[in-house]
Amino acid sequence: MISITGLLLGWKKDSKELLLPNTYQGTSSSLKDWKSIDFLHQKVTDYVVKNTADQTSYIVDRIDVRKEKGIAKFIFTNRYEAQIDCATGKILNFQKRHSDVIENIHDGSIIDIYFNLNGTPVKLIYTTVMSLALFIFTVTGFWLWYGPKRMRAQRS
């Protein structure tokens, strides 16, 4: 499972928007031209209310500001994302982010989320066990490859 989700996460930015929406370009990367975050939040909220059936599930989880692109990404708890031009307030894209679920499966935090656990105990245990197992498999695999070569070299 880890290898499959790792592969998908490696390809997420090149997946032609199947896993993660492309990052669009705004009109200005100069902060003096930008609207306030409060204004941008209101524009995104108005867009969601106008264009979706269930506005109650659109709660902002985080805001990712990309200065060099001149945009802000409003990422919602239901895995949707709205990209807005910070200078004009125009919505550039509104799309589902599948990569967040894949990342939660990859690192084991999906179990913490499903059972609504405090913190991330399952994620920590899962990543520790998997990391140690990968390290042990790597070392033993190398030894199984190198050991016979070494023994043959010593015999000759």
Domains in the chain: boundaries: 1-19+98-107, 21-94, 109-155
pLDDT at residue 56 in the model: 72
- The residues pairing with 80 across neighbouring beta strands, listed in sequence order, are 96
Cβ proximity of 34 and 135 under 8 Å: no
Rounded CA-CA distance 123/132 in Å is: 14
pLDDT at residue 5 in the model: 96
State the chain's mean pLDDT as an integer.
Answer: 94
Eight-class DSSP state of 23: P
pLDDT of 132 strictly over 90:
yes
Cβ proximity of 94 and 46 under 8 Å: no
pLDDT of 156 strictly over 80:
no
pLDDT per residue over 14-69, tens digit each?
Answer: 999 999 999 999 999 999 999 999 999 999 999 998 988 877 778 999 999 999 99
Q: What percentage of the chain has pLDDT greater than the value 70?
A: 99
Q: What is the pTM of this model?
A: 0.79
For residue 149, the one-letter residue type is: K
CA angle, residues 64, 67, 68, in degrees to nearest 5: 125
pLDDT at residue 54 in the model: 77
pLDDT at residue 57 in the model: 78
- The residues pairing with 86 across neighbouring beta strands, listed in sequence order, are none
pLDDT at residue 103 in the model: 94
Cβ proximity of 87 and 25 under 8 Å: no
For residue 108, the one-letter residue type is: G
